[in-house]
Structure 1
Amino acid sequence: MAVTAPLCAGDWAAPDFTLPGIDGRNWSLSDIRGGRPTLVAFICNHCPYVVAIIDRLVRDAALLRAEGIGVAAINSNDPVQYPEDSFDNMKVFARAHGIDFPYLFDESQEVARAWGAVCTPDFFGLDRDGRLRYRGRLDESGRLPAAPDARRELLDAMRLVAATGLGPEHQVPSMGCSIKWRETP
């Protein structure tokens, strides 16, 4: 079932975290931010929405990082219900798609809950102070291949945040699979 993320609201400040990355390092939000605008994407390995956009996300993340914007992705899905989203499978997925930014595992799901993440993909574009300025989609293509002239909404939004500290006035929410929450006894 497709879920739509809520739009950017007010002056929300991103909660810090420390999570293990597939590179063997523990990453905190402050490590990734480093006093600069930052993109945090909640993704997973199996969601058809993520699979459809991952190569475009990796492409745009490389451009953003080259412009000094921090980028990380977090997988918060329950690997018991969805073994394809396990930490080991995150490494396989990252290699297959050339993910070269921190890909982090939120095994407790506390970070996803603290951030209010609801779907994969769910994008959080932060300004230099860690305030939410963009909570939209990658582009208009969704699960379809992108048209050659598709507007790169996430890329443009993050460049605007970097230049002005503000997000775009018009934002279209991301859509994807719901986060797979751990069953509670």
Structure 2
Amino acid sequence: MLSKSQVCDFGWPAPEFSLLTPSGKSHSRDSIMGPKGMLIAFICNHCPYVIALIDRLAKDLKTLDALGIGCAAIMSNDYGRYPADAPERMVEFAKVHGLSVPYLVDEDQSVARAYGAVCTPDFFGFDADGGLQYRGRLDDVGMRDDPSSRAPELLNAMRQVAETGKGPEHQIPSMGCSIKWR
């Protein structure tokens, strides 16, 4: 089912979390937070919207990390019903697409609920104090469009957050498949 993320609630505080990678390494909100902010991306392996943008996202996350913005991807889908999203498949997906940030399993879906995530992909960009500054889409490229002349909205917004502490006033919500709740 197609869903759109919500509009940005500027300053909303990033909820705490502690999640594991498929290999068992623990990461928390505070360990992900960078000196210039944090980007949390709710994604999964099987969503056609994520598949269409994952290579661009992986590249943008590397750029953000280099700017001092801590990044993580979180998979919250019910992988019992959607086995393509199972933890062992997450490892393969991350490797194939060059995803270098922690890809975390939200086993009980509590983190997705705490953040109010509704779709994959769903992006949450926070300032250095943990206040929400971006809740928009990755870029202006449609699923089947040529990304060569894209406007990297998330990347530009998070650069602005890193420099000024404030996200852009105008944001276009992300769109994707609904999170597969238990």
Give me the TM-score of the superposition, normalised by structure 2: 0.96
Residues 23-102 of structure 1: pairs in structure 2 closer than 5 A: 23-102=23-102
Deviates further, 88-97 or 31-40? 31-40
Map of 1:20 onto structure 2: 20
Residues 127-146 of structure 1: pairs in structure 2 closer than 5 A: 127-146=127-146
Contact 1:52 1:145 in 2 (8 A): no
Report the Cα distance in structure 2 between the residues aligned to 1:34 and 1:16, rounded to whole angstroms: 15
Contact 2:35 2:68 in 1 (8 A): no
Aligned CA-pair RMSD: 1.1
How has the CA–CA distance of structure 1 residues 146 and 130 changed in structure 2, closer, same or farther, with 3 Å as cutoff? Answer: farther
Q: Structure 2: 5+ residue runs without aligned partners?
A: none
C-alpha deviations, 1:116-164, integer Å up to 9, x for none?
0000000000000111000000011132244322110000000000000
Percent of paired sites with the same residue: 57
Give me the TM-score of the superposition, normalised by structure 1: 0.95
Find the residue that maps to 1:125 and give its secondary structure.
strand
Contact 1:53 1:142 in 2 (8 A): no
Find the residue that maps to 1:141 and give its secondary structure.
coil
| Cα offset, 1:34, TM superposition | 4.1
Map of 1:157 onto structure 2: 157
How has the CA–CA distance of structure 1 residues 34 and 138 changed in structure 2, closer, same or farther, with 3 Å as cutoff? Answer: closer
| Runs of 4+ residues deviating >3 angstroms | none
How has the CA–CA distance of structure 1 residues 60 and 125 changed in structure 2, closer, same or farther, with 3 Å as cutoff? Answer: same
Report the Cα distance in structure 1 between the residues aligned to 2:172 and 2:144, rounded to whole angstroms: 16
Contact 2:10 2:131 in 1 (8 A): no
| Cα offset, 1:169, TM superposition | 1.1
| Cα offset, 1:23, TM superposition | 4.7
Residues 105-116 of structure 1: pairs in structure 2 closer than 5 A: 105-116=105-116
| Cα offset, 1:27, TM superposition | 0.2
Aligned partner of 2:164: which letter?
T
